[in-house]
Amino acid sequence: MAIERFHIHVSDELLDDLQYRLQHIRWPEQSENANWERGTELGYLQSLVSYWRDHYDWRAQESKLNGYAQYMCNIDDINVHFIHERGKGPSPLPIILTHGWPDSYLRYEKIIPLLTDPASFGGDPEDSFDVIVPSLPGFGFSGQPASPGINNFRVAGMWTKLMTALGYPTFAAAGGDMGSGVIRYLAANHPERLVGIHLTDVGIIRGLLNSKDSEDLTEEERQYKTKAAAWLSQESGYMSIQSTKPQTLAYGLSDSPAGLASWMIEKFRSWSDCEGDLSQLFSEDELLTHIMIYWVTNTIGSSAQMYYENSHSLPPLGRIDVPTGIALFQADVLLPPKQWVERNLNLARWTVMPRGGHFAAMEQPELLADDIRAFYRGLRSKL
């Protein structure tokens, strides 16, 4: 499998086209005092777009991103983009980090140095990692699948091929959101390759949600079922359309930068521990660079297709026996009941964080990196 260096360079024509679109947005009306209850608030989005149009510097961000060791390889006829940063320690443990939606491989940008070079941050060089961060197929700079069927199960198989090509017969893995699903299928289907897995969530537990006899559930599981039903009723509209009609959605979001920003920004606000104020956690440059990854690659449509594939073609996922660490961030979506996790995964570490939300690696990188290092400290001898 050929692995080639990759360098980001977006054409001037594409950036000029974006600038034109940002200057000619047709804004909708907003109900009086609607705030965020009905979706992305008009005033906030107009302010963000104004910054995007007049102050945001993609070339500066592009140069920064090109400071990482980036590569491209072809796996199962799909080009896979990934970062591969070597650890600075006596025996770095390879770890593959998998992102989700609506973020990108940049979800893990802040923790890469914390994992590759812990000594520079007051840690132990014995805890260093070789860090591999791929872009999911159909996301960012990875290729868009030409045929259907690329779901979490298939991506897990692709990741084993990637790690083999990089010379890692055994490795660690961590992920959240869609990345959690990929990593759990990786553990279920290729346990011999893993020293352990580290997760920040376990997705929506459909088995609990659909259980008919609540008397068989623990109190914590009953509470989860109630919260999950309410969340799905009020917050899962994005999931419903991306799981059923992603192509219809793609036309509008691929054509309108304001529409794309609105679709993504609402989730960063709703799922993070920002208390309704995005500026508490994220700079405008940080948010816009995530949005730009989707815009310059035109992958919002192909990323939504993963929701369709995961809801139509995923095989069942059984119990996972690979040692598992769970770090729960209190503002995340639908924290799982510990009893369910213990029944379905080989739970070796359970940490409830004092703060942070769904985008843990972006919001609280030090807390997450510390937990990953601590979890794998006792598992390194398996390598």
- Based on the residue annotation, tell me whether 294 is a catalytic residue of this protein: no
Which segments of 24-103 does DSSP mark as H helices, in order? 42-54, 58-65
Phi, psi of 163 (to 5 degrees): -65, -35
Catalytic entry in 177, 201, 332, 371: 177
Residue 226 vs residues 25, 138, 232, 350: alpha-carbon distances, Å: 41, 34, 10, 23
- Based on the residue annotation, tell me whether 177 is a catalytic residue of this protein: yes
Tokens, residue 217: 């559930």
141 burial class (0-12, 13-18, 19+ CB within 10 angstroms)? buried
Which of 275, 270, 382, 255 minimizes the C-alpha distance to 323? Answer: 382
Catalytic entry in 81, 99, 290, 358: 358
Which residue spans within 243-357 are E strands per DSSP?
320-329, 345-353
Element (H, E) at 75: strand 70-75
Element (H, E) at 4: strand 3-5
Catalytic entry in 56, 307, 308, 376: 307
| Rounded Cα–Cα distance for residues 324 and 276 (Å) | 32
Q: Which residues are catalytic?
A: 177, 307, 358
